Chain A
Amino acid sequence: KQEVTQIPAALSVPEGENLVLNCSFTDSAIYNLQWFRQDPGKGLTSLLLIQSSQREQTSGRLNASLDKSSGRSTLYIAASQPGDSATYLCAVVGGSYIPTFGRGTSLIVHP
């Protein structure tokens, strides 16, 4: 059974810092991995999708990497802003096509 762990569970940083959020998974036979953000009381917003054959994806200040052999993905946020404050979730899809979600990293960026 796939297990997904996100570290740290919570993070508070001053504006302008570069951040790394971690996602690890136990079964490396994955189809894809997706990063989301969730604002309080809202649904999930897709940030980046990495297919199993890819090593990284970039969108604006966000960069996500994937290392299947070590069962890890990282989400890098450059020059963080208060508007980046949210919970960040990763989801791993394997052969069953059922996504397994981590518990998320709660991020606060203070001015």
Chain B
Amino acid sequence: GAGVSQSPSNKVTEKGKDVELRCDPISGHTALYWYRQSLGQGLEFLIYFQGNSAPDKSGLPSDRFSAERTGGSVSTLTIQRTQQEDSAVYLCASSLETNEQFFGPGTRLTVL
């Protein structure tokens, strides 16, 4: 079956613009996670969705970041008024309940 997919694979934007990153989880997976990986840094947790529960937004670095998950499936991470420090690889993962996580290939965001 299909794995986790993310789009776009690469995004170059200008400082101050808004961007939307998309994640399609594995069908039937109830949990969805967003992470950020900066050059030379570890994985930074951003937000966690589990079923119909309120998302855990404790990892979002500022109010410029938001995410939604529609119909318990596709998720969109939005970054408003992008800054150069937002440049990173954004990774999405899904799992069945809180079991084994499966990652997408990531979106590389470059803010000029």
Contact = CB atoms under 8 A, between A and B. Distances in A.
Interface of A: 31-32, 34, 36, 42-46, 49, 89, 91, 93, 96-104
Given A43-B106, A103-B42, A104-B42, A98 B101 contact: no
B103 A43 contact: yes
A80 B37 CA distance: 27
A43 B45 contact: no
B101 A46 contact: yes
Nearest to B47: A98
Contact of A43 (B56, B91, B100): B91
Contacts of B42: 101-104
Contacts of B101: 34, 44, 46, 91, 99
Most buried by A among B50, B102, B103: B103
B56 A98 contact: yes
B45 A45 contact: no
Interface of B: 4, 31, 33, 42-43, 45, 48, 50, 56, 58-59, 91, 93, 98-106
Most buried by B among A44, A46, A98, A101: A44
A34 B104 CA distance: 16
15 contacts: A34-B100, A42-B106, A43-B104, A44-B91, A91-B43, A91-B101, A93-B98, A97-B50, A97-B56, A98-B45, A98-B58, A99-B33, A99-B101, A102-B42, A103-B42
